[in-house]
Amino acid sequence: MQSRLSPYAWVCFSMCVGVMGTALASPLYPLYQQAWGLQPSHITQIFVTYMLGALISLLFLGRLTNLFGFLKVLRLGLMVMTVGVIGSALSWNAWSLGASRFIIGLASGLITTSASIGMTQLNNKGDLQRAAATTSLTIAFGFGLGPVVGGLMAQWVPFPLVSSYLPPIALSFLGIHALFKIQLPATSAPVHSAPGLTLKDVLPSISQPRKPFLYHYALGCMAAFSAFGMFSLFAAMAPSFMAQMLPWHGPAVSGLSIGVILFLSAGIQLIARPYPTKRLIIIGFFALAATNVLLVLNLFAGSPWLFALSVLSMSCGHALCNLSGMAVVNKVSKPVNRTGLLSTYLVVGYVGTIVPILGMGWLSDHIGLTGALIAFCACLGLLSALLGVISVRARVLPVPRQ
């Protein structure tokens, strides 16, 4: 029986459910620490295994959608995601959880790439800007929903390290079933441009723009580096350091905080779309710098209001840096090299997620969580402020002829 909902709706649903499983574990990390006696560095390593999986997927599997069509790759991604989430629910130590998170990372890359292309192809109105905005909002909503659901389940449902994963597992099975039932319009049918998978199809695709636009492209990539790096702090370590900043504790509090950042980020991106890219990237960098200052101050003040202000600042910085970074990629690219430039942009962003948080985890084991957080905020805050100053001095980006 064919699904009553349109293919576009089911692709949106599948993307939302797919990315929901990626961030669900964030509010559970303190529970894993207690259950398995883990150090902060172990938590950051588990978090990073997901990002490594996503990075490998982006580098080596990005062309699968072009070869086999978005629907087949989306089905595969959602099935792999379900395997990873089930593995997380059944994990018994840090190694098994890390392996499951790596699988989730691989699936995340497949899902976001294929679903983004699918939503563009299935957009009946032909409005590419609308399709891009819908994609961004769907990803943000799914990412935000994950920690909210995980935190609420872990706070009040028995056996939280297992039961928290049940909602995304059930929704994933629904999405997989729907993806096998939907029928694509004739114009969206996959075109098989190659007879099969070759070595060239899985080699990394990294590009750079023409020299006149290289400076602006580098700033756009660093916007992703800063935004991804700052969010990784909240996603990986917020449940641990929030105990020093808030009178309320538990997975629900940390999950809601992470979810609020992503929900607000999505809303801010929607509102800020009409504004000039240069203005957005400047505000974004300085908002991230302010977030680091507020977090350090609140380590000593322990004020819920300061923490709320840091969440608002983080949401603003995350939204504007991501929005302006993607705008730069679109402005400096042509259709022939857009995929490569987008891949390079995301690779820089994932490196920003991996390297700073690994350093913080290592420092936490040696100088304590407070000292490590101060060092992290000092480094990323100074970098963001410096990039903001550089952006102020940069000329307005010209738009190349397509």
The burial of 240, by beta-carbon neighbours within 10 Å (0-12 exposed, 13-18 middle, 19 or more buried), is given as middle
Domain count, the chain: 2
215-273 pLDDT, tens digit each: 888 999 999 999 999 988 887 766 666 666 666 667 777 788 888 888 898 889 888 88
Is 198 within the bounds of a domain? Answer: no
Give the end of a domain, one of 151, 183, 215.
Answer: 183
Is 146 within the bounds of a domain? Answer: yes
Same domain, 341 and 396: yes
Q: What is the mean pLDDT of residues 291-301?
A: 90
* Per-residue tokens: 343: 């891949």
pLDDT at site 1: 43
Q: Give the containing element (helix H, strand E) for 389.
A: helix 369-393
300-353 pLDDT, tens digit each: 887 888 888 998 999 999 999 988 888 888 788 776 666 677 778 888 888 888
Same domain, 23 and 143: yes
Enter the DSSP assignment of 198.
Answer: -
d(CA 142, CA 96): 24
Is 291 within the bounds of a domain? Answer: yes
pLDDT at site 131: 62
Is 165 within the bounds of a domain? Answer: yes
CA distances from 192 to 187, 195, 335, 336 (A): 14, 7, 19, 18
Same domain, 298 and 383: yes
* Per-residue tokens: 264: 């607000």
pLDDT at site 175: 92
Question: Residue 137 above 60 pLDDT?
Answer: yes
Same domain, 230 and 133: no
Same domain, 179 and 208: no
Predicted TM-score of the model (pTM): 0.80
Give the end of a domain, one of 183, 212, 228.
Answer: 183
Are 231 and 143 in contact by the 8 Å Cβ rule? The answer is: no
| pLDDT higher at 394 or 387 | 387
Same domain, 142 and 258: no
Question: Residue 209 above 70 pLDDT?
Answer: yes
Is 48 within the bounds of a domain? Answer: yes
CA atoms within 13 A of residue 334's CA, in its CB half-sphere: 7
Same domain, 171 and 229: no
177-205 pLDDT, tens digit each: 999 988 877 655 455 555 565 656 666 66
33-79 pLDDT, tens digit each: 889 998 888 888 888 898 889 888 888 877 777 778 888 999 999 99
Give the end of a domain, one of 129, 151, 183.
Answer: 183
Is 345 within the bounds of a domain? Answer: yes
Is 218 within the bounds of a domain? Answer: yes
Which residues constitute the domain of residue 376? Answer: 204-402
pLDDT at site 103: 96
Question: Residue 402 above 60 pLDDT?
Answer: no
CATH number of domain containing 319: 1.20.1250.20
